[in-house]
């Protein structure tokens, strides 16, 4: 013990532990403090938790990682200067590599949507990442060997101190400028009254996520039963989406109001659902309103009790170990070298499934198979009050996991997922028919956007399905090629509410020539949007003309 104490005192006098302490502080803070908070603060609407909920987790991860690094350095310290300097060089290399990866090579990251990551499609990114990591290793080794020991240690300590302060200032700035300090008191979507219908009037918007019109038409050609299933409907085959992704497409569908990165997205979202024109019209007409969408992020203090099936509830996490694992995967998704990103891949929407809600009510989840099971097992109930229901289902969203009979098989493809969506739709429509509420119900079946295997380039997601049946309509399925935009929907809703049929819902008719707008963005970079115009058919992605106008948040 005396010898250990003397060695400790000797090394403490040399003051050589601080370089390791500062680079460990910067590395651990960057990965376990800054990273999860920065990911959250830049995408608050994507997560059900708030910064105050995440903060204790971050502090715990940071403290554990920092203590581990200090313990390792202490062991190397007692082994001698060479061992300590080697450990210092490795920590410096990890810090420099992760810092580069998380700040300079993030522009081409695909979405965390659970789809299989094919590194071959990102060959340039993988090669560049490997080259940079190897170069950093070579440069740091050269510095460690060529510089004087104290000079190298001062370089490491100075770099760690400087970057730690920069990261700390950055995360604090984000915390206040993004409103990250606000606590979330989210409304929770429950299943209550999911199949409650009025004997008077009903209005249903049925959204099947990511069902592409082109793929539907392929299936329609070989499934003649779709014509009978969709009798009384008009299929609008030339419908153009406003956006390529759900986050903006859904509020546009319900409001007709564009989001152009000119305000915080949460402000736009709460204005659409809290003050939307169509919802006001429904309330004035005496409708009770329900939104069945497990992806909704609405705060109680902004929405109140406007919607029948959204309730206040306190939230906590289920399966803490799984929650931590997914948080670490998100960190790796941004900061790990490209060659390791395949091990960081998962569907970030699964985080929403980890909410524990203190309510006895059953939560609504958007999974196709769960809704299909409810359609088969739960009865339609009746009420005198008019009913409005917006039901947003998984549809054909990635990851593809259904066969055409809605069995969860995972080893499937997009075509099978679209077929499964049509199976779910057919079962729901038949349920309304058998319950005797189909005729007095306005029904719109749509997708928020289309789908394409080449979505990295932005092509092919602009062509969603749209079917409309007015109240009391009875005829064979019709097809209209009128040039429709999702910005037309709110006017169409009001016309249908007033008793119009599908052929009267839009002022546009087949053969009309029209210029329609499309704002493209990638899932994880919504803060940058590019404007396109479509003068041709909605299916023609090649004819989308860039206007050169961009919408960038904060500019």
- In the chain, % helix, strand, coil (3-state, to 5) comes to 50, 15, 35
**What mean pLDDT do residues 434-460 have?**
83
Q: Which helix (H) or strand (E) holds 403?
A: none
Report pLDDT for 112.
66
Does position 15 have pLDDT exceeding 50, yes or no?
A: no
Nearest to 156 by CA among 74, 196, 70, 96: 96
Q: Measured between alpha carbons, how far is 91 from 96 in angstroms, rounded to an integer?
A: 9
Band (12; pLDDT cuts 50, 70, 90):
very low
For residue 457, what pLDDT band results from cuts at 50, 70 and 90? very low
Q: Which residues contact 11 (CB under 8 A, 6 or more apart)?
A: 17, 77, 78
pLDDT at 315: 66
Q: How confident is the model at residue 395 (pLDDT cuts 50, 70, 90)?
A: very high
| 379 close to 431: Cβ distance less than 8 angstroms | no
Q: Is the pTM of this model over 0.75?
A: no
pLDDT tens digits along 271-302: 888 888 999 999 999 999 999 998 777 766 66
Residue 14 has pLDDT above 80, yes or no: no
91 vs 168: CA distance, rounded Å: 19
Q: Phi then psi for 484, rounded to 5 degrees?
A: -105, 145
Pairing state between β 202-208 and 441-446: parallel
User: 436's torsion region: left (phi>0), alpha (psi -120 to 50) or beta?
Assistant: left
Position 211 scores a pLDDT of 95
pLDDT for the residue 40: 85
Residues 6+ apart with CB under 8 A from 191: 292, 309, 361, 362, 363, 364, 374
- Scored b (16 or more CB within 10 A) or e, 191-210 reads bebbbbbbeebbbbbbbbbb
In this prediction, residue 64 carries a pLDDT of 93
What is the rounded distance in angstroms from the CA atom of residue 232 to the CA atom of residue 470?
8
490-519: pLDDT as tens digits: 999 999 999 999 999 999 999 899 999 999
What CA–CA distance (Å, rounded) separates 55 from 37?
Answer: 8
pLDDT recorded at residue 201: 95
Task: Give me the residues paired with residue 208 across strands.
Answer: 393
Q: Which helix (H) or strand (E) holds 150?
A: helix 149-177
Write down the domain spans for the chain: 2-177, 187-314+358-552
374-389: pLDDT as tens digits: 999 999 999 999 999 9
Share of the chain above pLDDT 90, in %: 48
Measured CA to CA, the distance from residue 30 to residue 38 in angstroms comes to 10
The lowest-confidence range among 145-154, 200-209, 488-497, 509-518 is 145-154
Confidence class for position 54, pLDDT limits 50, 70, 90: confident
Cα three-residue angle 10-11-14, rounded to 5 degrees:
95
Angstrom distance (rounded) from CA 19 to CA 425: 63
Collapse the DSSP code of 320 into the 3-class scheme (helix H, G, I; strand E, B; otherwise coil) and give the result: helix
Q: HSE on the CB side for 102, CA within 13 Å? A: 23
Q: Give the confidence band of 177 by pLDDT, cuts at 50, 70, 90.
A: confident
**Of the ranges 5-9, 26-30, 308-312, 470-474, which one carries the lowest mean pLDDT score?**
5-9
What is the token pair recorded at 440? 């007095």
Please tell me the distance from the alpha carbon of residue 378 to that of residue 366, in angstroms, as a whole number: 16
Average pLDDT (45-67) is 86
**Helices and strands (H and E) in the chain: how many:** 17, 18
The two structure tokens encoding residue 134: 């190897």
Give the model's pLDDT for residue 359: 64
CATH superfamily of 187-314+358-552: Alkaline Phosphatase, subunit A (3.40.720.10)
Q: How would residue 2 be classed by pLDDT, with cut points 50, 70 and 90?
A: low
Least confident of 106-115, 404-413, 451-460: 451-460
CA distance 369 to 407: 7
Residue 309, pLDDT score: 86
- pLDDT the model gives residue 13: 44
Report the pLDDT value the prediction gives residue 185, as an integer from 0 to 100: 67
Alpha carbons 182 and 194: distance in angstroms, whole number:
31
User: 439 pLDDT band (50/70/90 cuts)?
Assistant: very high
CA atoms within 13 A on the CB side of 16: 23
pLDDT band at 176 (very low <50, low <70, confident <90, very high): confident
Residue written as token pair 């092509």: 459
What's 400's DSSP letter?
A: P
pLDDT in tens, 406-434: 999 978 999 999 999 999 999 999 999 99
The helix (H) or strand (E) run that includes residue 120 is none
End-to-end CA distance of the chain: 62
- Check residue 16 and give its pLDDT: 44
Q: What is the per-residue pLDDT for 303? A: 74
Task: Report the pLDDT averaged over residues 358-377.
Answer: 86
From CA 246, how far away is CA 394, in angstroms rounded?
11
The per-residue pLDDT for 407 is: 94
Q: Is the pLDDT higher at 533 or at 87?
A: 533
Q: Using pLDDT thresholds of 50, 70 and 90, give the confidence band for residue 203.
A: very high
| Span 9-30, average pLDDT | 71
pLDDT, position 357? 65
């Amino acid at each position: 013990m005396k010898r250990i104490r003397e060695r400790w005192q000797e090394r403490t006098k040399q003051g050589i532990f601080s370089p390791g302490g500062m680079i460990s502080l910067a590395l651990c803070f960057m990965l376990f403090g800054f990273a999860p908070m920065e990911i959250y603060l830049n995408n608050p609407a994507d997560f059900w938790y708030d910064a105050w909920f995440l903060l204790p987790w971050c502090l715990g991860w940071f403290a554990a990682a920092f203590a581990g690094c200090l313990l390792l350095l202490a062991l190397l310290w007692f082994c001698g200067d060479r061992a300590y300097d080697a450990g210092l060089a490795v920590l410096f290399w990890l810090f420099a590599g992760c810092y580069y990866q998380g700040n300079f090579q993030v522009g081409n990251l695909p979405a965390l949507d659970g789809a299989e990551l094919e590194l071959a499609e990102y060959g340039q990114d993988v090669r560049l990442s490997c080259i940079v990591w190897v170069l950093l290793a070579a440069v740091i080794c050269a510095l460690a060997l060529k510089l004087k020991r104290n000079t190298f240690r001062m370089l490491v300590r100075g770099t760690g101190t400087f970057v730690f302060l920069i990261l700390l200032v950055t995360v604090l700035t984000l915390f206040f400028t993004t409103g990250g300090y606000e606590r979330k008191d989210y409304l929770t979507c429950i299943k209550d009254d999911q199949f409650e219908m009025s004997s008077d009037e009903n209005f249903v918007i049925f959204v099947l996520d990511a069902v592409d019109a082109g793929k539907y038409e392929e299936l329609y050609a070989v499934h003649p039963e779709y014509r009978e299933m969709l009798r009384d409907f008009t299929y609008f085959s030339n419908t153009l989406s406003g956006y390529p992704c759900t986050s903006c497409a859904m509020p546009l569908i319900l409001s007709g109001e564009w989001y152009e990165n000119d305000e915080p997205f949460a402000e736009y979202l709460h204005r659409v659902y809290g003050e939307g024109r169509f919802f006001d019209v429904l309330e004035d007409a005496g409708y009770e309103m329900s939104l069945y969408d497990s992806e909704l992020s609405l705060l109680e203090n902004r929405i109140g009790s406007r919607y029948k099936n959204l309730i206040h509830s306190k939230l906590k996490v289920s399966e803490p170990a799984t929650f931590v694992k997914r948080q670490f995967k998100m960190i790796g998704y941004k900061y790990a070298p490209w060659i390791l990103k395949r091990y960081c891949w998962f569907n970030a929407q699964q985080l929403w499934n980890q909410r524990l809600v203190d309510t006895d009510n059953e939560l609504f989840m958007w999974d196709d198979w769960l809704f299909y099971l409810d359609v088969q097992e739960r009865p339609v109930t009746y009420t005198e009050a008019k009913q409005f229901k917006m039901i947003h289902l998984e549809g054909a969203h990635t990851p593809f996991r259904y066969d055409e009979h809605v069995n969860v098989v995972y080893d499937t493809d997009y075509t099978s997922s679209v077929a499964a969506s049509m199976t779910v739709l057919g079962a729901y429509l038949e349920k309304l028919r058998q319950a005797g509420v189909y005729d007095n119900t306005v029904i719109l079946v749509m997708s928020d956007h289309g789908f394409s295997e080449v979505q990295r380039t932005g092509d092919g997601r602009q062509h969603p399905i749209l079917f409309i049946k007015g109240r009391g309509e009875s005829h064979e399925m019709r097809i209209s090629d009128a040039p429709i935009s999702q910005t037309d929907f709110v006017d169409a809703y009001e016309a249908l509410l007033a008793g119009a049929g599908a052929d009267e819902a839009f002022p546009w008719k087949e053969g009309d020539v029209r210029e329609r707008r499309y704002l493209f963005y990638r899932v994880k970079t919504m803060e940058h949007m590019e404007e396109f115009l479509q003068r041709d058919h909605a299916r023609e992605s090649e004819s989308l003309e860039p206007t050169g106008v961009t919408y960038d948040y904060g500019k």
